Structure 1
Amino acid sequence: MLNRLLRPAALLAAAGAITLLASACGGSSPASSTSSAPAYPALASSPACTQLRSQNPNLAGKTLTNAINPHTPGYESISVSDPTKYEGFDVDLSEALGECLGFTVSYLPVAFDALLPTLQSGQANFIISDIYATKDRAASADFITYSKVFDGVLVAAGNPKKITGIDDSLCGTTTALNKGFVEVPLVDAQNTKCGSEGKPPAQTALFDNNADCVQAILSGRADAYINDVNTVNRFVKDQSGKLANASTLHLPYSIGIGVPKGQLPIRNAFTAALTQIQTSGLQTQLAQKWQLDKSAIQAPSLVTAS
């Protein structure tokens, strides 16, 4: 299954215990493309995936929607070579899950802070969009982890404000962040600390996507941007001589796949398929393909509210 064409929100139909996407709405967006040959034939034909398809007949042959915020190059973004398609590690991982379990993937682009509400409303069946699996977010979805979290601190070249991380170096600066990012409360906590020390505030400027955050630094409206280190390093590479990564931070989170709360069939099926993707070495190959740190790969584990 090749990366699907961009398409609008789809109407959902229930099938067994899992809410499945049945058909797409009309409109001016092009229809989804399909491929007669699987993208990952070795994975699809593996004994583990063959067994999983037989155990999950309510998934095989269906179309499931992945809610994404397609502004994170390397993870999910509009394809450079074909603007009607998405590309990136998370897109490939979505397709691999579909190959293993027998479903087709469609994509629903939304703002980052709308990812969880979109899943909760039933407009999407799952989320794979570089979203950190936290206990707070687990109140809205169950998460299956697949990667450790390392953040980078994007600054202007030369780091004129001498920012070193989420610490006192942020006092008197403005950090550009996506709405809904886990870094927002971390910077807010640092702002409180700055105030208690009699220092200038550590302010935040909130945006809907990563590209706007980066533009805020380039235009001088913000001093830093904190996000996944692979994303930060990619922006540094794309804006050679204009941006730099001031520091790499390890945050106590994991990147996860979000699925509807309490829907054990889809949660268990995704966990088993992800395990096979990792065991086969495919996740490592995808990480190398998209220039991500393969050492950050994490065995599947559940993050729930309980």
Structure 2
Amino acid sequence: MKNSRTALFAVLAGVVLAGCSSTTEAATTETPSEFADLAASPACTELRAENPDLAGKTLTNAINPYTPGYETINPENPSEYQGFDIDLGNALGACLGFKNDYLSVGFSELIPTVASGQADWIISNLYATEERAAGGVDFISYSKVFDGILVAKDNPKNITGIDTSLCGLTVALNKGYVEVPLVEAVGPECVATGLKAPTVSLFDSSADCTQAVLAGRADAYMNDINTVNAFVAEHPDELASAETVMLDYTIGIGVPQGDHQFRDAIQAALTEVQASGLQDELAAKWKLSENAVAAPTILSVG
């Protein structure tokens, strides 16, 4: 879920957006012709007939475009985004008859942005949890979650997972990520054995977290294994992946809570995308080697 090219995207994204406000609009992306076969399928044709209100619309997708392979700024055109999630959103739009534009926000603002009506949905490598759903969205799952632990070359601190090997260490994490409470939960175990709890250092982007590890200001960083592998590929003499941890989450598409017609249409379109093999093709295109398709199930607390 990488090669040096995707790592470069992350660096360029940070350069282009540095100093910008937390919310940035981007140009509408036209539906690519590569999804014409999907759009012409009997299932998608029927879905468009069942959801005429979506036809010809442009929906706003809230994203945090700093994750290599998933969503980053196109270095050849800074007004566009690219990645697996961008393609997936365009594929779903092709199936249902709508196009996408994007609203770039801080990761912790993804759900509030949709819940407040500033955007129509989220496809941004977002782990689906009940706590997040309680913020005002329903989730439709599309991938299982494998986390990697980014560390210095040769793992000098002998980190073995989200466990007591983190005692006394500093862990760089993205604001709002599920890994924050998971690392914090290790603290009481550390204290019980006479050790210090891990220190969590919060950042706004994956690139910033990685720089903290490179600079020795953090001992580890946790994120999707494909993201971790991308940064290792960019810095093979300085970084390594200590461990791969399967978390009890799925990655999901967020839609406004209560809009069941839109939610169910996305679920049905996603089912067709997966059945056609397109999700696997997109994962291969973006070097998401650890992608594991998850059945498009709904998580709702409303």
Normalised to the residue count of structure 2, the TM-score between the two structures is 0.89
| Aligned position for 1:176 | 172
Give 1:229's aligned amino acid: I
Note closer, same or farther for the CA distance 1:30–1:186 as it changes in structure 2 (3 Å cut): closer
| Aligned position for 2:8 | none
What's the offset of the Cα at 1:195? 1.4
Q: What count of residue pairs does the alignment treat as equivalent?
A: 279
1:282 matches 2:278: yes
**1:22-37 maps to which residues of 2 (within 5 A)?**
31-32=27-28, 34=30
**1:241-256 maps to which residues of 2 (within 5 A)?**
241-256=237-252
What's the offset of the Cα at 1:30? 6.8
1:133 counterpart (128, 131, 152): 128
Give 2:296's aligned amino acid: P
**1:30-179 maps to which residues of 2 (within 5 A)?**
31-32=27-28, 34=30, 38-140=33-135, 141-179=137-175
Summarize deviations over 1:145-176 as a string: whole Å, max 9, x none. Answer: 00000100000111111111111110010000
* Aligned equivalents of 2:233, 2:110: Cα separation in 1: 28
Summarize deviations over 1:169-194 as a string: whole Å, max 9, x none. Answer: 10010000011100000000012221
| Aligned position for 1:299 | 295
Moved over 2 A (4+): 28-35, 80-84
Larger displacement relative to structure 2 (80-89 or 252-261): 80-89
Higher relative contact order at CA 8 Å, sep ≥6: structure 1 or structure 2? 2
| Aligned position for 1:229 | 225
What's the offset of the Cα at 1:208? 1.0
Note closer, same or farther for the CA distance 1:149–1:114 as it changes in structure 2 (3 Å cut): same
| Aligned position for 1:3 | none
Summarize deviations over 1:204-250 as a string: whole Å, max 9, x none. Answer: 00011111111111111111001111111111111221110000001
* Aligned equivalents of 2:93, 2:284: Cα separation in 1: 21
Larger displacement relative to structure 2 (82-91 or 245-254): 82-91
* Aligned equivalents of 1:282, 1:228: Cα separation in 2: 21
Give 2:297's aligned amino acid: S
Note closer, same or farther for the CA distance 1:116–1:29 as it changes in structure 2 (3 Å cut): closer
* Aligned equivalents of 1:50, 1:281: Cα separation in 2: 18
* Aligned equivalents of 1:227, 1:153: Cα separation in 2: 7
**1:252-267 maps to which residues of 2 (within 5 A)?**
252-267=248-263
What's the offset of the Cα at 1:83? 2.3
> What are structure 2's unaligned runs of at least 5 residues?
1-12, 14-23
* Aligned equivalents of 1:203, 1:246: Cα separation in 2: 18
Identity within the alignment, %: 57
* Aligned equivalents of 1:295, 1:107: Cα separation in 2: 24
* Aligned equivalents of 1:287, 1:300: Cα separation in 2: 16
What's the offset of the Cα at 1:303? 1.1
What's the offset of the Cα at 1:273? 0.3
Normalised to the residue count of structure 1, the TM-score between the two structures is 0.88
* Aligned equivalents of 2:183, 2:26: Cα separation in 1: 41
Q: CA RMSD in A?
A: 1.7
Give 1:63's aligned amino acid: T
Give 1:193's aligned amino acid: E
What's the offset of the Cα at 1:31? 4.4
Note closer, same or farther for the CA distance 1:234–1:45 as it changes in structure 2 (3 Å cut): same
> What are structure 1's unaligned runs of at least 5 residues?
1-5, 7-27
* Aligned equivalents of 2:164, 2:174: Cα separation in 1: 21
* Aligned equivalents of 2:81, 2:145: Cα separation in 1: 23
Give 1:250's aligned amino acid: M
SS in 2 for 1:58: helix
| Aligned position for 1:13 | none
SS in 2 for 1:96: helix
Note closer, same or farther for the CA distance 1:33–1:302 as it changes in structure 2 (3 Å cut): closer
Give 1:130's aligned amino acid: N
| Aligned position for 1:191 | 187
SS in 2 for 1:162: coil
Give 1:135's aligned amino acid: E
